[in-house]
Amino acid sequence: PESKLPSLGTTIFTQMSALAQQHQAINLSQGFPDFSGPGYLKKRLAYHVEQGANQYAPMTGAVALRAAIADKTEQIYGWRPDADTEITVTAGATEALFAAVSALVRAGDEVICFDPSYDSYAPAVTLAGGVTRHIALQPPSFRVDWEVFRNQLTDKTRLVILNTPHNPSATVWQPEDFVQLWQAIAEREIYVLSDEVYEHICFAPGGHAGVLAHPQLRQRAIAVSSFGKTYHMTGWKIGYCIAPPVLSAEVRKIHQYLTFAVNTPAQLAIADMLNAEPQHWQQLPDFYRERRDHLTNALAPSRFKVLPCQGTYFLLADYSAISDMDDVAFSKWLTVEVGVAAIPLSVFCADPFPHKLIRLCFAKQDATLDAAAERLCQL
């Protein structure tokens, strides 16, 4: 059949992890921790399985989990979403993002993405019949130029997709960015999809600025998060989105036919975890700051130049002192010849991205980071 996504292959994460495995390289490419999640969470999963919570959850998410998400949201943003009409539990953030785009984007609509942008956004827009307008952000700050943004808006602009803390640049939006965004779209019917899966992995002095903290913007926004990041369990694939009732209703129309409902015992275990150990997610900035600093220090003697990292569990490293290769070739070479797998940045960009930058995941144990750094310091 004629492909609906002709230019798409498998994701860079699948490719690089496979290459790492094939060459037994230390895998700092695909983002996932090489350590386990909280013991209590695992015990509660076993408990709920044993108790027989093994049939379909409610379509919108387990009641206990949506209540716990409402509590947590109120604690962070001073605003409580309604658990029945504004919170939807999804199969990871990935499903929430796809459902949100499918629900909002109509044929011919324009969607603004900031490049480098996470790889799942644009294909979802294409499948919905929309057109992605890419705004290229420049290293090292990757800040949005709001005048450029305003000039991109047209009568067809329907949705803006943003991500903070940002994968892969490790930069974060400031409250002022949200003010600028609101001012630019207030008079138009434009919605916002805010990918905040790394909301708790933020090292910026003011902490994470999210779309839910902005009272007007959140009336137009779908905020997405993921327990895979929060609890070091990317394989559990439980995420959620928060949006006003009218937007949630549209997202749920798609969600009910994408997955209907998601893993029941895992939802109940996460609800228990949120209620019993709220300090767990509050400690994530310190926990990951230590990981970040460990890798940064270990790379200090190398010829890589590490860029500032304000959030996420990724570091950008500039290799221009080491090689002239483009970033895709360099990442493959690094995996095959040096034994450290990394992610190139140009694959997240529609326009040429000539910078010599790779992304390294530091959600790893000291021994893993040390072993990788030892190899990288040889270059």
Which positions touch ligand PMP (CB under 6 A)? Answer: 31, 92-94, 118, 163, 167, 195, 197, 226, 228, 234, 239
Q: How far is the CB of 317 from ligand PMP (least distance, A)?
A: 18
* Residue 253 DSSP SS3: helix
Q: Specify the DSSP element, H or E, that contains 8.
A: none
Peptide bond into 285 cis (omega under 30): no
Q: Which does 11 bind (CB under 5 to 8 A by kind): ligand PMP, ligand GLN, none?
A: ligand GLN
Q: How far is the CB of 163 from ligand PMP (least distance, A)?
A: 5
Q: Which does 228 bind (CB under 5 to 8 A by kind): ligand PMP, ligand GLN, none?
A: ligand PMP
Q: Which does 93 bind (CB under 5 to 8 A by kind): ligand PMP, ligand GLN, none?
A: ligand PMP
Nearer to ligand PMP, 36 or 151 (CB): 36
Nearer to ligand GLN, 247 or 345 (CB): 345
Q: How far is the CB of 135 from ligand GLN (least distance, A)?
A: 20
Binding flag, residue 11, ligand GLN (CB under 6 A): yes
Q: Where are the beta strands (DSSP E) in the chain?
A: 26-27, 87-90, 110-115, 131-136, 157-163, 191-195, 221-226, 239-242, 305-306, 314-318, 340-341, 343-344, 357-361
Q: How far is the CB of 94 from ligand GLN (least distance, A)?
A: 7
| Measured CA distances, 65 to 70, 257, 263 (Å) | 9, 21, 12
Q: d(Cα 259, Cα 149) in Å, to the nearest integer?
A: 35
Find, among 249, 299, 298, 239, the residue nearest to 270 by Cα: 239
Q: How far is the CB of 165 from ligand PMP (least distance, A)?
A: 9
Site residue total, ligand GLN (CB under 6 A): 5
Nearer to ligand PMP, 29 or 180 (CB): 29
Q: Which residue type does 88 have?
A: T
Binding flag, residue 13, ligand GLN (CB under 6 A): yes
Q: How far is the CB of 237 from ligand PMP (least distance, A)?
A: 6
Q: How far is the CB of 234 from ligand PMP (least distance, A)?
A: 5
| Measured CA distances, 19 to 71, 333, 338 (Å) | 42, 10, 12
Nearer to ligand GLN, 121 or 203 (CB): 121
Strand 110-115, strand 239-242: pairing: unpaired
Q: What are phi and psi of 223, to 5 degrees?
A: -100, 135
Nearer to ligand PMP, 325 or 349 (CB): 349
Q: d(Cα 361, Cα 368) in Å, to the nearest integer?
A: 11
Q: Which does 195 bind (CB under 5 to 8 A by kind): ligand GLN, ligand PMP, none?
A: ligand PMP
Q: What letter does residue 202 receive in the DSSP assignment?
A: B
Contact 171, 310 (CB under 8 A): yes
Q: How many helices (H) and strands (E) does the chain have?
A: 14, 13
User: In this chain, which of 73, 117, 126, 167 binds ligand GLN, going by CB under 6 A?
Assistant: 167
Q: d(Cα 238, Cα 204) in Å, to the nearest integer?
A: 26
Q: How far is the CB of 294 from ligand PMP (least distance, A)?
A: 21
Nearer to ligand PMP, 234 or 275 (CB): 234
Q: Which does 33 bind (CB under 5 to 8 A by kind): ligand GLN, ligand PMP, none?
A: none
Q: How far is the CB of 230 from ligand PMP (least distance, A)?
A: 10
User: In this chain, which of 15, 26, 31, 316 binds ligand GLN, going by CB under 6 A?
Assistant: 31
Q: What are phi and psi of 304, to 5 degrees?
A: -75, 145
Q: Which does 30 bind (CB under 5 to 8 A by kind): ligand GLN, ligand PMP, none?
A: ligand GLN
- Number of other residues whose CB lies within 10 A of the CB of residue 107: 8
Q: Which does 226 bind (CB under 5 to 8 A by kind): ligand GLN, ligand PMP, none?
A: ligand PMP
Instruction: Specify the length of the chain in residues.
Output: 379
Provide the binding-site residues for ligand GLN, judged by CB under 6 A.
11, 13, 30-31, 167
